[in-house]
Structure 1
Amino acid sequence: MHYLSHWLACGVVVPLGVLAGGAGDTLAADLGPPAPVSEAPVVSGWTYRFTPYGWLTALKGTQTVRGRSVKVDASFIDIVEKSDTLVALMGDFEARNGPIALFTDVVWSQIGVEGGNVRSRALAPGVTGTLGTSLNLDIEMAIVEVGGAYEVARSGPLAFDLLGGARYWYQEADLSLAIAAAVDVGDLQIAGARAFARSGSVDWLDPMIGARVRYAVAPGHELFLRGDIGGFGVGSDFSWQAIGAYGFELGTYQGVTFSGVIGYRALSVDYAQGEGRRRYEFDMLQHGPVLGISARF
């Protein structure tokens, strides 16, 4: 991606989907409401849609940095209220011609999770001592999806698409820990009463496959569901994503049709590399409401 006035003030151009084509499109956008599945005129050539959106993300799972593991359970409100760091840029773009669509989705975020929502867990093999109290976790993360979709079936207002592509992940994580007497801090950076475990740059690429279903409730209004799975041991061990959204047209200005979208997105990934003090793991579910406005031309 899946942050509005207060969230936008925090820098959230509010994680996440696939974009549809023009007014005659038969292929829906993941986070932008497509044209009605039925009773749409046939338009030849390419049409385009751009959707800046907001994914109000919560985090739940485990983060391991240099063999030190913590359990994270933070809602979007927790992150907004208790963190000094909350920056995000998110957007979709889709180009479409007939039943074929090419899409890309970008989510970049810099999130800080305060100690009340971070708990120490067992150390990785080869790391000795106790961590003490976890103070906070800062994650810089980019998620980029690229792929294509094809409409394989349609019956009245109901349409079914298959999609495939890849999801690229980039992360840097800093884990801040209170120093306890029993901690082995030989490979950590020390600043005052804190020890910092820094991951450095970590990235991987996951193949993904999925499907989406669209239902035209009324002209300009559509209910949309998407699901995909990926990883398969190529990058991460496994990942999955589910999106449900409702799209509605707002109006047309100078040939550009503007639409709104509301929905919910969940994205889970289980990735790990290295052992002992080189262990990095991101086993996390990111989920929350999605809000956006799209421009179709």
Structure 2
Amino acid sequence: MNSRFLRDHGWAARACAAAWALCAGATRGDAELLEGRVEPPDPASASAPAQSPDAPADPRTWSVQFEPQMWFPALRGDIEMPGGSLFDVETLDLDEPELSPAGELSIRGGDWIFQFNGFAFDVEAASRADDAFAAGGGAGAVAVGDRVEYELDYGAFEFNMGKHVWSVPLKDADDVAVDFDLYAGARAYALDLRLETGSGVSSHDAQWADALVGMRMRLDLPHGFGLETAVDVGGGAFGVDGSFSWDITVAFTWVYENTAGIEIGFRHLSVDTVEGEGAEEFEFDNALAGLFGAVVIRF
């Protein structure tokens, strides 16, 4: 073989040498596989897609989520004490925001979810009346500028049971989905209001419950982020002569690897209840609304 041939066709020789080396390597690999020194690849593992660490937990399994919260709501609306007249809560500065404890416990299994939540709104202060009104009871009439001491204890506890009814994965986004739940339950209230003036004291307490129905929507986002909103309406007046309520919550959540995280949101709870008739009628037509923050714990 002359030098000119090698110069003109050396690339072919080098290609043949490379092919031979590749075949020899493959042959050695096959031999090692037959001798059992190399484990064959697992077809199942080869075909199974990699599981993203941010993928949501299987909704068919049981899970528990606990959220201790701090709510910062303000009271808005009207109150009428027995024997008194209707007055706006702003008249006594009862509309000032108050940091209030709250919480929520959710238990999810399969398509079902059981939820418990509650709050306690307590305020005690004194104010000069901005408008004249009748406080009722022994407190009598209140003139503009009169000093009124007030104490309000207001809380509620709710239980509801829901069913997952619809899930919509967003196109071209495996870890983004919208879920819808429908739920029904009951919310029990307790209220104790005391007004004290220079003339005396007027007080009233009431306990009642509403049946409620609602809808919850969740938007699951990558990296543990999520957005949730819940809306419900209630009524039934168990314990009083009439009651109607509606509640809306919007919250943004971040949870680290489905274990713990934080939640920031806004809640508006509106309640209108009436007890008694005529001069002895008590009316509480108010809304609590404000921002809240929570620690999210999942297990």
TM-score (norm. length: structure 2): 0.69
2:88 to 60, 66, 71: 71
CA distance in 1, matches of 2:156, 2:163: 23
Asked if residue 246 in structure 1 is aligned to residue 260 in structure 2, the reply is no
Higher relative contact order (CA 8 A, sep 6+): 1
1:288 paired residue number: 290
1:135 to 122, 126, 148: 148
Post-superposition CA distance 1:94-117 (Å, at most 9, x none): 111011011111212321254258
| RMSD between aligned residues | 3.0
- Percentage identity across paired residues of the two chains: 24
How far the C-alpha of 1:142 sits from its partner, in A, is 2.0
Which segment drifts farther, 156-165 or 63-72?
63-72
Gaps of 5+ in 1: 1-35, 81-85, 178-192
CA distance in 1, matches of 2:230, 2:106: 15
How far the C-alpha of 1:40 sits from its partner, in A, is 2.5
2:183 paired residue number: 163
Q: Measured at CA, do residues 225 and 44 of structure 1 come closer, stay the same or move farther in structure 2, by a change above 3 Å?
A: closer
How far the C-alpha of 1:39 sits from its partner, in A, is 4.0
How far the C-alpha of 1:275 sits from its partner, in A, is 2.7
1:21 paired residue number: none
Larger helix proportion, structure 1 or 2?
2
What does 1:126-205 align with in structure 2 at a 5 Å threshold?
Answer: 130-132=141-143, 133=146, 135-156=148-169, 157-177=177-197, 193-199=198-204, 201-205=205-209
Which segment drifts farther, 111-120 or 48-57?
111-120
8 Å CA contact retained: 2:135, 2:195? no
Asked if residue 46 in structure 1 is aligned to residue 62 in structure 2, the reply is yes
CA distance in 2, matches of 1:271, 1:104: 22
8 Å CA contact retained: 1:115, 1:135? yes
CA distance in 1, matches of 2:89, 2:298: 38
Asked if residue 230 in structure 1 is aligned to residue 234 in structure 2, the reply is yes
Q: Measured at CA, do residues 96 and 175 of structure 1 come closer, stay the same or move farther in structure 2, by a change above 3 Å?
A: same
2:120 paired residue number: 108
Q: Measured at CA, do residues 144 and 120 of structure 1 come closer, stay the same or move farther in structure 2, by a change above 3 Å?
A: farther
SS, match of residue 237 in structure 1: strand
TM-score (norm. length: structure 1): 0.69
1:58 to 56, 74, 86: 74
Q: Measured at CA, do residues 296 and 41 of structure 1 come closer, stay the same or move farther in structure 2, by a change above 3 Å?
A: closer
Say which one has the larger Rg.
2
Post-superposition CA distance 1:118-177 (Å, at most 9, x none): 7444678x99x7432362431112200001111100101111110110000011110223
8 Å CA contact retained: 1:47, 1:97? yes
Post-superposition CA distance 1:233-283 (Å, at most 9, x none): 55543110111110001467xxxx211011110000100111345322111
SS, match of residue 123 in structure 2: strand
1:97 paired residue number: 109
CA distance in 2, matches of 1:195, 1:79: 27
Q: Measured at CA, do residues 120 and 271 of structure 1 come closer, stay the same or move farther in structure 2, by a change above 3 Å?
A: farther
